[in-house]
């Protein structure tokens, strides 16, 4: 049996995309932060809705959390108008304009089309806001988190500038190691919690919350003292933290992160930036929030797959996989890596997929430029192999499927399925052995990549 290797890069990315889970260990008395791992026996493509900063700020303000006043804008002209409105409302203040993409590290990113540096800028007046907005809107912001492809900026957030005396970090999140909610904080804010953990693990504080007993003002005050609040600011911060917990519960959040959680020169305590994630399982009772989902910020293949009830996660390799059952899918990915290959997706069609859903799955794979080969690995128990075969045939006819197919079909109606595929004239390689099929997939992908590097045209007949 193949041992599933958790250290593999694609597994880490897969698990990150399945949901936000952070475990905290205190080996040798120090807190460290690491990404959580999903059990191999319960792997599902779980996504958690993430909304833009300006929407998160609006939600917090509507729940009486002290935040920056600001407006969203989708054109340079609207940004100028909102900047004027904000200065008229708040006085002659400096302004901050922030590119709205679903990624961290915006301040040190750059825009791909015009090389404009930084997704966060301080402006003195509405004219400067309009100028900066024109360089952000409609362009692609690249950060450490987005990778080279970046994310398109369609909205900017214009807010008042604060003069900060002290920045802190606060987050509520679901913690699998304790099967509950954890409050995480640090007296060092402004940078990511991972960076804080590396630089100074002792600066991170954690408090487990028993959801049955709730979160008291006494606990909130104790935590605020740990992260350095004193005097009047301690009273204010205590109330804010207690209310943030109520928001976390009320809106079915999986993550509520305030960074920085700031103390200003004039003694105010403010949430200067916010990141909120919401449990997809709660969509039925958080409909207003889920209507704010920005599909343009999500992976196009994953969005398309979701329309057809397909469990799809995009990865970074060059071998596409279509498998039924999460366990078999994970084993398939590991086999590919074992043979020095690299999967470009996780695709579980499940046990009840229809012919049309199989067709749509292959259409998505066919549109993926990274995919050089498609490995179809089906164990026909509930899922009938002949349905898979008919879906393959339909997809190849409808889309001029142009990628080599390595197919393993075992189980219900496998002989009928193979006969259908052979009679269709579709060029494919049949393998009964899963390990051999993985080897051939990797070899085929390597051949195609090598040929492309030396500018040689190849065809498979």
| CATH code for the domain in which residue 425 is found | 3.40.50.261
CATH of the domain at 96: 3.30.1490.20
Same domain, 218 and 140: no
Number of domains in the chain: 3
Average pLDDT for 343-356:
89
Same domain, 321 and 373: yes
Instruction: Please give the angle made by the CA atoms of 292, 344 and 390, to the nearest 5 degrees.
Output: 90
Q: Which of 270, 290, 310 is the last residue of a domain?
A: 290
Binning pLDDT at 50, 70 and 90, where does residue 375 land? very high
Same domain, 286 and 350: no
CATH of the domain at 248: 3.30.470.20
Same domain, 399 and 448: yes
40-70 confidence digits (pLDDT tens) = 333 344 568 999 999 999 999 999 999 989 9
pLDDT for position 176: 81
Residue listed under structure tokens 């085929």:
444
Average pLDDT for 216-226:
96
Residues paired with 277 in a beta bridge: 50, 255
CA distances 109 to 19, 118, 160, 210, Å, are 25, 5, 21, 39
Known binder of ligand: residue 383?
Answer: yes
Known binder of ligand: residue 107?
Answer: yes
Same domain, 181 and 275: yes
Q: How far is CA 384 from the centre of its chain?
A: 33
* Residue among 53, 78, 257, 301 flagged as catalytic: 257
Known binder of ligand: residue 105?
Answer: yes
Looking at the predicted structure, is the pLDDT value of residue 29 above 90? no
pLDDT for position 46: 52
Known binder of ligand: residue 382?
Answer: yes
pTM strictly above 0.85: no
pLDDT for position 308: 87
Same domain, 81 and 107: yes
Q: Which of 6-15, 330-339, 345-354, 421-430 has the highest mean pLDDT?
A: 330-339
Residue listed under structure tokens 């105010």:
268
Q: Is residue 257 part of a domain?
A: yes
Q: Is residue 400 part of a domain?
A: yes
Q: Which of 160, 194, 216 is the last residue of a domain?
A: 160
Same domain, 317 and 267: no
Q: Is residue 26 part of a domain?
A: no
Q: How far is CA 215 from the centre of its chain?
A: 28
Same domain, 223 and 343: no
Q: Which of 132, 160, 188 is the last residue of a domain?
A: 160
Same domain, 155 and 171: no
Same domain, 308 and 279: no
Q: Is residue 171 part of a domain?
A: yes
148-207 confidence digits (pLDDT tens) = 889 999 999 999 998 999 999 999 999 888 888 999 999 988 777 777 788 888 889 999
Known binder of ligand: residue 306?
Answer: no
Same domain, 250 and 109: no
**What does the block give as tokens for 389?**
């075969």
Known binder of ligand: residue 322?
Answer: no
Q: How far is CA 271 from the centre of its chain?
A: 23
Supply the range of the domain harboring residue 212: 164-290
**What does the block give as tokens for 316?**
């970074």
**What does the block give as tokens for 107?**
């301040």
Q: Is residue 79 part of a domain?
A: yes
Is residue 169 part of the annotated active site? The answer reads yes
Known binder of ligand: residue 151?
Answer: no
Same domain, 432 and 352: yes
Q: Is residue 458 part of a domain?
A: no
* Residue among 169, 245, 251, 312 flagged as catalytic: 169
The fraction of the chain above a pLDDT of 70, given in percent, is 89
Known binder of ligand: residue 109?
Answer: no
pLDDT for position 88: 92
Instruction: Please give the angle made by the CA atoms of 337, 455 and 375, to the nearest 5 degrees.
Output: 30
Q: Is residue 40 part of a domain?
A: no
Mean pLDDT of the chain: 87
Residue 122 · residue 95 · CB < 8 Å: yes
Looking at the predicted structure, is the pLDDT value of residue 379 above 60? yes
Known binder of ligand: residue 324?
Answer: yes
179: Cβ contacts below 8 Å, ≥ 6 apart:
none
Q: Is residue 34 part of a domain?
A: no
């Amino acid at each position: 049996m193949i041992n599933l290797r958790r250290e593999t890069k694609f597994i880490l990315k897969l698990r990150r995309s399945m949901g936000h889970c952070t475990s905290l260990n205190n080996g040798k008395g120090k807190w460290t932060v690491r990404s959580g791992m999903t059990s191999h026996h319960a792997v599902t493509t779980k996504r958690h809705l993430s909304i833009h900063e300006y929407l998160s700020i609006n939600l917090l303000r509507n729940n009486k959390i002290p935040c920056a006043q600001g407006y969203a804008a989708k054109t340079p002209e609207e940004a100028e108008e909102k900047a004027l409105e904000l200065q008229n409302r708040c006085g002659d203040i400096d302004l901050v304009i922030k590119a709205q993409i679903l990624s961290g590290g915006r301040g040190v990113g750059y825009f791909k089309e015009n090389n404009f540096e930084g997704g966060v800028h301080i402006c003195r007046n509405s004219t400067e806001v309009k100028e900066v907005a024109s360089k952000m809107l409609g362009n692609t912001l690249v950060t450490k988190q987005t990778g080279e492809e970046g994310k398109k900026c369609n909205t900017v957030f214009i807010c008042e500038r604060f003069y900060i005396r002290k920045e802190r970090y606060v987050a509520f999140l679901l913690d699998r190691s304790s099967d509950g909610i954890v409050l995480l904080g640090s007296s060092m804010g402004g940078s990511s919690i991972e960076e804080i953990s590396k630089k100074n693990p002792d600066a991170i504080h954690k408090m487990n919350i028993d959801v049955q007993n709730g979160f008291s003002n006494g606990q909130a005050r104790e935590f605020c003292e740990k992260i350095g609040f004193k005097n009047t600011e301690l009273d204010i911060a205590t109330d804010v933290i207690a209310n943030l917990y109520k928001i976390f519960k009320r809106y079915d959040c999986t993550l509520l992160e305030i960074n920085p959680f700031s103390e200003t020169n004039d003694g105010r305590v403010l949430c200067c930036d916010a990141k909120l994630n919401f449990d997809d399982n709660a969509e039925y009772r958080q409909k207003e929030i889920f209507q704010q989902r920005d599909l343009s910020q999500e992976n196009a293949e994953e969005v398309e797959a979701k329309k057809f009830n397909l469990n799809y996660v995009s990865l970074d390799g060059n071998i596409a996989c279509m498998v039924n059952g999460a366990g078999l899918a994970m084993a398939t990915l590991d086999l590919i890596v074992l043979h020095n290959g690299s999967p470009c997706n996780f695709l579980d069609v499940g046990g009840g997929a229809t012919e049309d859903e199989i067709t749509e799955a292959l259409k998505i794979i066919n549109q993926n430029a990274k995919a050089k080969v498609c490995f179809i690995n089906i164990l026909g128990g509930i899922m009938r192999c002949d349905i898979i075969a008919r879906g393959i045939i339909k997809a190849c006819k409808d889309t001029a499927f142009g990628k080599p197919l390595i197919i393993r079909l075992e189980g219900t109606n496998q002989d009928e399925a193979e006969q259908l595929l052979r009679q269709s004239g579709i060029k494919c390689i049949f393998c009964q052995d899963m390990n051999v099929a993985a080897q051939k997939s990797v070899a085929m992908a390597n051949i195609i990549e090598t040929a492309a590097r030396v500018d040689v045209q190849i065809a498979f007949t």
